[in-house]
Structure formats: structure tokens, C-alpha cells
Structure 1
Amino acid sequence: MFFDVAHQSYVPGLVGLDHVVEGNSKLQATQSVAQVAAPAVGGALLRVVSAPGLVAVTVVTYALSALGVGRIAAREDLPPREDRRPLRTEIAEGLRFVLHQPLLRRIVATTSISNFGSAATAAVLAIYALRVLGLDTATFGVVVSASAVGGLAGAFAADRLARLVGGSRVIPLSALLFGVAGLATPLAGVLPRHAAPVLVAGMAIMFVGIVVYNVTQVSFRQRLCPPALLGRMNASVRFLVWGSMPLGSLLGGWLGHTTSVVTTLWVAAGIGLVATLPVVASPLLRSRDLPPAPVHGTPRG
């Protein structure tokens, strides 16, 4: 959590506000490559090392990551200690900024509601695939990998799409894409003979939309926010958009237990469609480009 908030706040200072979409796209691309490659590498390593040994390998990769980040040469000037205010005041200022910005408030609403529905889906997805659809574990692995491949495609396409369609307009359009694609998950149960292809295609397309949306809306936030508030803004957004996920998981588990797994997935897909409304019914769809980058100093947030 600390790393995610810090790295989203640090990127504008490293690449400049005019290049944040490209920078965020490249970060998402490396993450998606790792998500595609890691399961295969892990499976191969398990043939030659024990499970505890594989965990040790993972620890080494974290250490290498820390070493790589530590070698960033950019200088960052921290605010003087005497200028720092009580934590409660800092948190309140970050939340006020998020809630008082109309477009940012809509993006947060879409992301939070979407995460709520996605968490409900995740709570029953494995049961749905393995028990209801009757997929074997290898096919389910392909379904999971499809989402990572879709994320990789979205990461490579995000910067180009923002230039082609417009950085502002691509936010609601990508939200619509992942909202509609989410219907493929319960739809696979209606088409049992084609369940696996429908599920794979739906997951891949959905994650194209999710990653394009994430790249563009994070870039929008970074351009909009004053540098000194970046850390508090990103922390506030994380709190609001991830705070809904435990509630979504609880809903998914409860609905799956009291109704059925398929009903749960249709409800979650409906929530995903509703989640698109705040950004679709906003000025983002009617304007092409993100607002111009304000003139700020080096980010400190």
C-alpha cells in the first residue's frame, strides 16, 4: 500500500506531467508481463526446487526490486519538519481535495463501485469455473492468464488510444468496455458448449479496458493535483476505491451461499455496468483532451 501510493505520486516528478500517460503505460506493461510470465516460471521452478525454496526466490526478487528503485538518481526535496502538520489535518486535506473535484469524484465513484462488483465476482469465480462450468484446472489457468494477456495489451495500447481518441474521452470509453465485457462471465453459463472461449475472451477484453482505464485516470489525477498534495490525494483515492472491495467479497460470498453462484455473477455484472455511469454521464465523454498540466514545482507528496 505504501509503495503504490508513493510510486503514483513520484512518477510525475520523474517523467514530467506531459509524459505521465506514457510513463504509466510502461509501468502497467511491465506489471502485466510479470503477471503473464510469473505463473509459468513458478510452475517450472517447482519441478526443481521445493515450495519453500520458491518462496525464497520470491524474496530475492523483492530485494532486487528494492535495489533497482534505490538506484533512481532523481533528487527529491522533502518539506522541512517544522512545516509538517498533524496527521489528521493532512488526511483531511487530501480527502477534501478528492471530494471537492467534480471529475475526480466521478472517477473515484466509478472505480469504487467497479471494485465492489469485481470483488463479488472474485469470491465465487473459482467455484463457478470448476464446479458449475466443469472446467479443468488447466483450462481455468488459461482463463486467469487471459486476463493478464489482456492487461498487457491494454498497457501497450493505452498511450496510443489516449492520443487517438483523446485522454479525457478514453476514460469513460474504457470503463464501458470493461463494464460490458464483464457480462461474459455469467453469460458463459448460458452457453455451456462455448463456456471456456466465452470466459477467456471476456476476461481478456475486460482487462484491456481495466488497464487502459487505470492508466488514463491515474494520469488525469497526477496532472490535476498540486504536487504537494499528490501523496495525500493518492492515499485518499486508494482508501475510497479499495475500501469497497472487502464489502464486495462479503456480498459475493453471502449471495453465493443464499442464492446461487450464477445469480451472484449476474448481480456483480450489473454492478459493473452501473459503475460506468458516473464517468459516462460526465463532461469527460464530451471533451477530447485532459486539462492542460498546471505549472508546479517538483512533486513532494
Structure 2
Amino acid sequence: MNQQPADTVRAQPRNAPVSVPTDASAPQPAPGPAATEPVPATDPATATATATDAASAGAPSGEGGDARERRQRRDFRLFMSSHICNELGSSITYVALPLMAVLTLQASPLQTGLLAAAEHAAFLLLGLPAGAWVDRMRRRRVMMAADLARTVLLTALPVAYLLDLHSMPLLYAVALLLGCARLFGDVADQSYLPTLVGRDTLIAGNSKLETVRSGAEFAGPGIAGFLVQLLGAAGTLAGQAVTSLASVVLLGSIRAREEKPAPAAPRHLLRDIREGLGYVLGHRILRLIALNTAAVNLFLSAVMALEVLFLTRTVGLPPAAVGWVLTTATIGSVLAATAADRLTRAVGSARLTWLSLLVAMPFGLLLPLADDDWRIGLFVLGSLVQSAGVTVYNICQVTYRQTVCPPHLLGRMTATMRFLVWGVLPLSGLLAGLLGELFGVRNALWLCAAALSAAPLVLLCSPLRRMRTFEEDTGPVPAQ
């Protein structure tokens, strides 16, 4: 299952921001109507920039409405193209990096788990300050810097391989630094979209970007398996350096001007971090979403850390077959992304948030039943349904987050959520590795899949169960 852990969508949501007190520990005012109950899917690339932040993003003085819309369409296409490069490259790297460890360095289950932990450690170590830093900088420049860093890191591994210097410690270090680049790129990405298209078209914009991500996840593993079998893991990673460089060029071609944030008063890092934490933990729905997503991510990421090892050593599939199995498993994510707008209107945004996970996660129990015969289809089916559920959940909850959060807090809110929900990922990698060493890979997969099935039950004890849409939320209350 090449579905990224919950909350990895680059696209994300919203409508008119609400104002909040500077003191985020104080009770927050109720949010305005949320845009999570989708309106007809207006194309974000063609919509007029009605939001103030979108208007300031850059038309020259005197530019007419038609010219401004053409510029917005062009900029959004460039932004989406950079997403294609990034998501396809990330999806291929997701398969190629552990294959390099397993096939080239004969990594053990524990070492494979440590590699997964290293990739996500940045969200635990730097998750909170990243948001405060990003809110002080131009977000497009942060994304470009992150892509440049990825280019250098993905070039380093093939060079080390050619010089016979590759090792597991080197893979750990590169995975850690790739995670740092991903952290800053993701926080800036989610905070940049509302300034590019305007808040009235975020649902449609996020759906488009989520479709891009899902499509990359669909194509990436198959391409990765083929390339690893043809070129080796090192050659495959070298190719991904090119996609990261292409993303830099595309982002640099966006014409919309982004003003550097200019706070009226001196900013203090610790105060900014407290504001982000206070806003998230003081909001009853965001607090609940963070708790649930962290639980799902803990066990979903453990399952993902075991997949390549399970399919190669336990089931006995060659690299190309591993890639195609993971590719077919992402069909559910692609279908869910394209249908999310209609599903949300039919079922309700709040209801779909918990229902999507409650229905989909138990299908993970099919994964450990796989073998090198017809039963590999059980792995595909389980991954397909889980991917669909996670995709729908991501669109709903991230759209709500971007809708309810005021613009000046977007970076800090996003980083705080990433810290809370992705901070568990290093632990999940260690958990997967230890369980694999103690009980074997198949049994470890059983344990993680069972825990993942139970994780969404926390939502049944929440106000979401009694709500159809997020608009029925009465507003944030202070954390107790």
C-alpha cells in the first residue's frame, strides 16, 4: 500500500478565515462557516481571486480581470506541475530506498524499521519550530529550497554507491535529511495554496492536488519496481534527483508575487510555537483530529514499513512485481480523490471524516493473508480500500483545518498538526522493526493491522458522530 500516512496530502482546504486572539491560550471565537461541505467544484485555476491574500499575490497595477484570471490559471498549472514532479519522485523513492537497503545491503527487519524511523524523525525534532520559521519567510522560496536539498541528497546516494561507500548509516542520514526537506516543503506548501488561488476555491484546488498525489502514488511504485530491476536502486534514485530539480524550475516560474510576512511587532520563536499549539489544542475539533490521526499514523506507518520486506522476503516477489502490487493498491486512492467532492456533498463532511476510516481500516487485516499465488489479490484489495479511506479522510479534515484557521496562523497550525500527527512516525518505524524481529514479518503485520483497525474507534466518542457537516460545529473550546 503506497498510500502515505494520514495527513500527507499536499492539497488542503478552506473558506473565509476567522479572527483569533493573539493569545492562543485564551478561548477562541467560533469559526465561520466551513467550506468542508463542498460547493460546486469551481476550478481554482479559473476562479477570480476574491480573497485579499490572493489579490495581493500578485497582479500588476491596472491588470484587468481576464488577464488576472489567465495569470492565475498559469500559476496554478505550474504549481500543480511541481506537485506532479514531487509526488512522483517521492512515490518512487518510497519504494527504491527500502529496496536499496533490502537488496543491496541485506537489511534486517530492525534496520528497515530504523530507516523508516529516520525518514520521519524530522517531524518529531523540528515539527514545531518549522511552522514558526515558515510563517516568517516567503513560502514559495521555502519550497524551492526544500526541492534543491532533495536534489542534492538523492544525488549523493548513487555517487556513494559508485564509490562503494554506501552503508546503512549513510541511508539513515540521507533519510533523516530528506525528511527535514519534506517537513519544510510540506508546511510551506499547505500554507501557500490559499494565497495562490483564494480561499473560495480551496476545496476544488485541494481535490485537484490530491488527485495528482494519488495519480503519482498509482504510477510511482510500478515505475520504481521496473527501474530498480532495470537500473538498480542507485540508478533509480539518481532519476528522482532530476524530478526534484524540475520542481524547482516550475516553482521559480510562478509569477504571483508573495510578500514577505512583516509582523507589526518583534516575533519570538517560543511565542509563535505556543500560539500554534494553543490554537490546535484549544479547538475541540482540531484536537480530536490530531488525536485520531496520530493513532492511525502510528499503526499505518508500521504497516508501510513492513510492506517491502514482507513482499520481497516472505512472499518472495521480485522488485518489479513488488512495484506493481503497490501500484494496483493505490487505485482506491485515485478513485477516492476524484469522487471526494461528490461523496462529501452526499454524506456530509463531518460524518465522512469518521466513517471513511471506520469502514476502511479493517481491510488491512487482508494484507497478512497474502502469498505468492491468488492470495496476493487479498493484499491488493486490502491496500486499495485502506488507501481510499485515508484519501477521503485527508481531504475532509485538511480542508476543515485550512478553512477554520486564520491566514497568519496557517504555517504554525500546519506545523503543529504535523508535529502531533507525524511525530509518532519514528516510533512506528521502531515498532515495526522490533515486532518483525521478535515475531516474524507476517505476524508483525497481523499485529499492526489489528491495531490499525481499532484506532478510528476514538471518533465514535466524539462530537463528530452527531454532526453531518463541520458547519454544525459550535466552535473551539479551551483545552482541558
Q: TM-score range by the shorter chain?
A: 0.7 to 0.9
Query: Do residues 61 (structure 1) and 243 (structure 2) align?
Result: yes
Show CA shifts across 1:29-67 (max 9, x none): 112222333455566778998977755543332232223
| CA-to-aligned-CA distance 1:76-130 (integer Å, 9 cap, x gap) | 4443255241111101110111111111111111111111102222332233333
Q: Report the TM-score when normalising by structure 1.
A: 0.85
Give the 3 Å change call, closer, same or farther, for CA 64–124 of structure 1 in structure 2: closer
Displacement, 1:292? 8.4
Structure-2 separation of matches of 1:84 and 1:58: 40
Match of 2:403 in 1: 223
Secondary structure of 1:288's counterpart equals coil
- The equivalences for 1:167-246 within 5 A come to 167-188=349-370, 194-246=374-426
1:12 Cα offset (Å): 2.6
Offset from partner CA, 1:11-40 (integer Å, 9 cap, x none): 233333343222111111112222333455
Query: Residue type of the partner of 1:68?
Result: L
Is the counterpart of residue 123 in structure 1 residue 305 in structure 2?
A: yes
Kept after mapping to 2: 8 A contact 1:98/1:236: yes
Worse-superposed segment, 180-189 or 100-109:
180-189
Please show how residues 87-126 of structure 1 align to structure 2 within 5 Å. Answer: 87-126=269-308
- Asked whether 1:257 is paired with 2:437, we answer yes
Q: CA deviation at 1:183?
A: 1.7
Unaligned residue ranges in structure 2 (runs of 5+): 1-182, 474-480
With 254-263 and 102-111 compared, the bigger mean Cα shift is at 254-263
**Structure 1 138/56 Cα, relative in aligned 2: closer, same or farther at 3 Å?**
closer
Q: Number of residues paired by the alignment?
A: 291
Secondary structure of the equivalent of 2:267? coil
Task: Show the 5 A alignment for 1:129-144.
Answer: 129-144=311-326
Task: Give the counterpart letter for 1:262 in structure 2.
Answer: R
The worse-fitting range, judged by mean Cα deviation, of 42-51 and 196-205 is: 42-51
Question: Measured at CA, do residues 127 and 53 of structure 1 come closer, stay the same or move farther in structure 2, by a change above 3 Å?
Answer: closer
| 2:295 maps to amino acid | I
Who is 1:165 aligned against? Answer: 347
Match of 1:289 in 2: 469
In structure 2, the residue matched to 1:270 is: 450
1:155 — aligned with what? 337
User: What is the TM-score when the length of structure 2 is the normalising length?
Assistant: 0.55
- Whether the 8 Å contact between 1:117 and 1:269 is mirrored in structure 2 is yes
Contiguous gaps of at least 5 residues in structure 1: 294-301
Which residue, 202, 211, 214 being the options, matches 1:32?
214
Between the aligned partners of 1:21 and 1:281, the Cα distance in structure 2 is 27
Greater Cα shift, 51-60 or 269-278: 51-60
Q: CA deviation at 1:224?
A: 1.3
Kindly indicate whether the alpha-carbon contact (under 8 Å) linking 1:6 and 1:231 is maintained by their aligned counterparts in 2: yes
* Aligned residue identity for 1:207: S
User: Could you tell me whether the CA contact under 8 Å between 2:211 and 2:338 is conserved in 1?
Assistant: yes
Stretch moving more, 204-213 or 175-184:
175-184
For residues 292 and 89 of structure 1, the distance between their equivalents in structure 2, rounded to whole angstroms, comes to 31
Equivalent residue letter for 1:29: T
Q: Which moved more, 1:118-127 or 1:42-51?
A: 42-51
Alpha carbons of structure 1 residues 209 and 259: separation in structure 2 relative to 1, 3 Å: same
Equivalent AA in structure 1 for residue 409 of structure 2? L
Structure 2 vs 1, CA of residues 19 and 173 (structure 1 numbering), >3 Å: closer, same or farther? farther
Structure (1 or 2) with the greater helix fraction: 1
CA distance in 1 between partners of 2:453 and 2:462 (Å) = 15
Distance 1:42 1:143, change over 3 A: closer
* RMSD, aligned α-carbons: 2.8
CA contact (8 A) 2:298 2:425 kept: yes
Q: 1:234 to 1:210 in 2, by over 3 A?
A: same
How has the CA–CA distance of structure 1 residues 261 and 42 changed in structure 2, closer, same or farther, with 3 Å as cutoff? closer
Quick one: structure 1 residues 129 and 6, their matched pair in 2 at CA, closer, same or farther if it must change by over 3 Å? Answer: same
